[in-house]
Structure 1
């Protein structure tokens, strides 16, 4: 696949198109955003932050990088790549990973595509540590620190939006997608990491079986389930799995101690890949 420069960025302050100008992105109103030496650009204004250092911490990003790069979630990446490339225009297509983390799934997408595709890709995350890690691992995609709540992307310019284990903002996703574009969403299924959850929690809450209706502006497409067993060896790898999930903060000290004592763990990976067509 040929990766081309992403040129659909919008100024986070006034929504005007951003143009690359040397080592910065600028809009016609004079707002300027420097490109860091690692290759990413910070497009999250202070007034849009809810904390000084929002998003995943440096430790969480490092844990996720080690765990994903070890190939543990490769079947998920393959399913996401297949669904993203399905019926994708061969020339001039564009894709945003909204909440890209350290960029694993975008890198896998680039590796899976054939030479017929020309794709511009943007990875966006609210965590500066995640964006920094992504940029250091692969300089080809555009990497941006930004928020799903106000995407710094021009309206109706994208063919695909990915939201993988993230926080969907459907109104914003609908705004930036072209009519006929597709939103791909990956969420934990009812059995996801059940064996780990049974260890760290005193009891598990009943799972809700109902499916949510399609968001406004979208039509639901068939849902795919990705489920497979995963054996993890070593306390460090198990610790990385826990740290990269919300369970690390939800579990109490006793539950985290039980996980820390493990040297091997067999778990079920169970995720739902939902596709929505932009009306």
Structure 2
């Protein structure tokens, strides 16, 4: 197995190809983007930011890193690996993007399990500079970029796979960068996901039903997979880390957060849906 950086980057200002020269990426128009010493690039222009420091904070990234490193979501990573590698064309390197990569856990798990004869060109993108920094520090074989799903700094029709984990899918952009026949692998929370934690945080829970996501324009929907299993958190730190990597941290009241912080163990059900969408021929 060989893992290599993804090279088909586009200038986030004018969409033209970027070429690497020394410690910067440059386009023909003269725009230049420095490559940090940790081997990542910031391709998120200030006009695409909604805040000074968008995305997950340094503390949230650290919490996610600890939780995922403990292996609680390993079954999800295994299902993602199978979906990403399924039916890839033989021969040429396959280009894959993790759109919203966080600290790079799922991309690293993918790289670690690729068959020996396969070559992958891998790129992780996240709007949080702290997440991308953490990812780049763990594995320098891949390309790591600070950027936005709403304006992917990637040339059109260059990707074989896009992964979107519990994130913010921007289907027109995913369709633009995928090759015809390429696939979007999307993982979303199911109706029973972390129900026990939500019951502690919220006074009442909204009834939810699992529904098949319709195919976005330009895509054909493939059968979805439901993945359910249980995890056992055995410390206040593990519970705090899980809460910190979910949207419930910001939605919960101070009283609810205090209730969660008082726990020393928690048994939880994980319920996620993995859906693949295939890019239609243009």
The TM-score range, normalised by the shorter chain, is: over 0.9
CA distance in 2, matches of 1:242, 1:22: 41
Q: How does 1:224-243 map to 2 (within 5 A)?
A: 224-243=225-244
Contact 2:55 2:127 in 1 (8 A): yes
* 1:272 maps onto 2:273 in alignment: yes
* Residue 52 of structure 1: aligned partner: 52
Counterpart Cα distance in 2 of 1:92 and 1:144: 20
Q: CA deviation at 1:140?
A: 0.9
Matched residue of 1:174: which SS? helix
The yes-or-no answer on 1:111 pairing with 2:112 is yes
Please give the alpha-carbon distance, in whole angstroms, between the structure 2 residues aligned to 1:5 and 1:109. 14
1:159 equivalent in structure 2: 160
Is 2:74 the partner of 1:74?
A: yes
Corresponding pairs, count: 279
Query: Is 1:17 the equivalent of 2:20?
Result: no
Distance 2:158 2:211 in 1: 33
Partner of residue 183, structure 1 = 184
Normalization by structure 1: what TM-score? 0.99
Which aligned pairs between 1:1-279 and structure 2 lie closer than 5 A?
1-90=1-90, 91-279=92-280
1:86 and 1:209, CA in 2 relative to 1: closer, same or farther beyond 3 A? closer
Aligned CA-pair RMSD? 0.8
* 1:186-240 CA-partner distances (Å, limit 9, x unpaired): 0000110001111111110111444331100000001011110110110001100
Query: Does structure 2 conserve the Cα–Cα contact (< 8 Å) formed by 1:89 and 1:117?
Result: no
Q: Give, in whole Å, the separation in 1 of the partners of 2:50 and 2:256.
A: 29
Question: Structure 2 regions of 5+ residues with no counterpart?
Answer: none
> What is the distance in 2 between the residues matched to 1:94 and 1:169?
19
| TM-score, scaled to structure 2 | 0.98
C-alpha contact (below 8 Å) 2:190/2:210 kept by paired residues = no
After the TM superposition, which segments of 4 or more aligned residues of structure 1 sit over 4 Å from their partners? none
Contact 2:212 2:224 in 1 (8 A): no
User: Structure 1: 5+ residue runs without aligned partners?
Assistant: none
Q: Deviations over 1:236-262 (max 9, x none)?
A: 011000011000111111111111011
